[in-house]
Copies of this chain bind each other. A is one copy, B any other.
Amino acid sequence: MVKENDYFRSGGLSMKQKSAEILAIGTELLMGNTVNTNAAYIARGLAQNGVNVYHQEVVGDNPQRLLDSLTRAFSRSDIVITTGGLGPTYDDLSKETIASYFGRKLVLDKESLQHIEEHFRAIGRPMSDNNRKQAMMPEGCTIFPNPNGTAPGCAIEQDGKVAFMLPGPPREMKPMFEHYVLPYLMKDSDTVLVSKMIHLFGIGESLLEHRLHDLMVSSTNPTLAPYAKSGEVMLRVTARVARGENPDPILQPVIEKVREMAGEFIYGIDVGDLQTAAVRRLAEKGLRVATAESCTGGYVSKRITEVDGASAVFDCGVCSYANEIKEKVLGVSHETLEKYGAVSPETAKEMAAGIRRLSGAEIGVSTTGIAGPGGGTEEKPVGLVYVAVDSDAFCQVLELHIPSRGDDAREYIRYIASSHALHLVWKAAGMAK
């Protein structure tokens, strides 16, 4: 666990510490129909920029309770960021309520209205009168355009207090937060936080923390913080520097130390994710990959093709869920399937080799296993997955035993298996000439 004060230790550089509260508005959050992922996203962004968050709150679409919460939040902090309640329907009252807190009226913003009208023309659906309400904005506010939806956001600043109103849907909120809220907040700051994210695969968080414990405790500028997420670990290295100062002399020595201590698990820095690392490396080397998936059912190719530019390195994938397709399309031998079964290292190998043959790609990767919840046996239990890679310079089959507890075990097994497949592709691309 991170202690607030430790995390925000500024390494001796002076900066007026700001604090903010996050106030999510929406009965669907109160009722638990939606998980409040926005708060975590915003909190992370604020923390990275040295803004403290001491409270997060959720209230419903109820003007009086919203006003109470807003008043209380401003009694503790100068910055309040709200999400939600900007929708077109009669119960979306955030703007009215927050404007009234500042003693402002709502006025029609013509640009916003025009954007909303264009949006409906583009998607070919009629615009209802409700949507016009979304262009009514507090007098004198700074408007944030919303290219991903109809509700614009805004900032109202008065007497040293600033309220940011952002839309609730994460795909609308996130870009608005990055492109407008953070720059707005940081405009007066004389120092900035600069981070690099080291991505690791194949080591658990507690083991990594154990290895790096002394380095983590002794690092103050930059700080070093681990994050675990779905079978991967990331290490964030964060330096506080004066605006315009090159952060590399502070960041690089610590990154080098991490390389010395855990380099075998690092697959990239600021690379986003495994699929991006794999696709970039393939593209750099002019290689192509092809996928042959059984238990992952398209998860590997889906993740590869998430990456913009995947078409330069990916031509072909086959989901061979049935044995017949493994034989007919991929050319896995009938004898192998008979003798070892579909879930076996032998079948995985032939699938990877087969998709290479079919596609002409330099690297073939395959998965076959038991994703559950049904289909497991004592000999081949749920969570047993074979992942194979085939290329001229590097061939490997992994036998995975993925823990399968909980409601989303099937999703977890398939995701982890696809991560291993992507990691093998990344390795194979690295070894190719």
Which of A37, A60, A407 lies at the interface centre, i.e. has the most chain B CB atoms within 10 A of its CB? A60
Please list the 7 inter-chain residue pairs (A to B) with the smallest Cβ-Cβ separation, ordered nearest first: A297-B305, A32-B43, A298-B298, A32-B44, A298-B301, A315-B322, A317-B319
- Do B319 and A305 touch (CB < 8 A)? yes
A406–B53 touching, CB < 8 Å: no
Q: State A175–B411 Cα separation when bound (angstroms).
A: 14
CB distance from A153 to the nearest CB of B (A): 13
A314 to B128, CA, bound (A): 41
Q: Cβ of A56 < 8 Å from any Cβ of B?
A: yes
Task: Flag if B32 contacts A45 (CB, 8 Å).
Answer: yes
Complex Cα–Cα for A373 and B309 (A): 9
- List residues of A whose CB falls within 8 A of some B CB: 1-4, 7, 26-37, 39-47, 53-62, 65, 69, 72, 87-89, 91-92, 119, 122-126, 128, 130-131, 147-148, 171-172, 174-175, 178, 204, 206-207, 209-210, 227, 236, 291, 293, 295-302, 304-306, 308-311, 314-322, 324-325, 329, 358-359, 371-375, 401, 403, 405-412, 414
Q: How many whole Å from A100's CB to the nearest CB in chain B?
A: 19
Chain B residues, Cβ within 8 Å of A305: 295-299, 319, 321, 371, 414
Chain B residues in 8 Å Cβ range of A306: 297, 410-411, 414
The residue in chain B whose Cβ has the minimal distance to the Cβ of A122 is B403
CB-nearest residue of chain B relative to A176?
B406
Q: Closest B-chain residue to A324, C-beta based?
A: B315
Q: Summarize A's interface: helix, strand, loop or mixed.
A: mixed
CB-based contact B316/A298 at 8 Å = no
Known contacts A206-B131, A316-B319, A35 near B31 by CB under 8 Å: no
Contact A1 B61 (CB under 8 A): yes
Contact B147 A91 (CB under 8 A): no
- Whether the pair A407, B29 counts as a contact (CB closer than 8 A) is no
In the bound complex, what is the Cα–Cα distance between A291 and B297 (angstroms)?
A: 11
A285 to chain B, nearest CB (A): 18
Q: How far, in angstroms, from A69 to B227 measured CA to CA in the complex?
A: 24
